[in-house]
Amino acid sequence: MKKNTDFSTILNKAHENKWVALSADRTKLLDSADTLRELRKRIKDTTAVYMKVLPSDMSFAF
């Protein structure tokens, strides 16, 4: 399966610091929430990919 690797095409400022659920190919935003628990309760798609969205107004040293 080809996967989207450019999150700027589906995520924006409103999603920063939130949890999002993406389709398995990462081309669609399924839903978002403040906590992972809340998000998983709402998502029925068992193939969803979950992630917390980084803020874009800072750089990172991981």
Partner 1 sequence: MDWKEYKYYAQLSGDDMVYRPIVGVVLSTIKDSIETIGIIDSGCDYTLINAEYAEELGITPATCETAVVGGIADKGTPSFIAKIKLRIEGFEDIFEVNARFVPGMVVNVLLGEVDFFENFKVLFEKRQRKFSLIKSTS
Q: Which residues bind partner 1 (CB under 8 A)?
A: 3, 5-8, 19, 24, 35-37, 40, 47-52, 54-62
CB of 51 to partner 1, least distance (A): 5
Shortest Å, Cβ 29 to partner 1: 14
Contact present, 48 and 23 (Cβ < 8 Å): yes
Q: Which residues pair with 32 in a beta bridge?
A: 20
Dihedral sign from CA coordinates of 52, 53, 58, 62: positive
Q: CB of 26: closest distance to partner 1 in angstroms?
A: 9
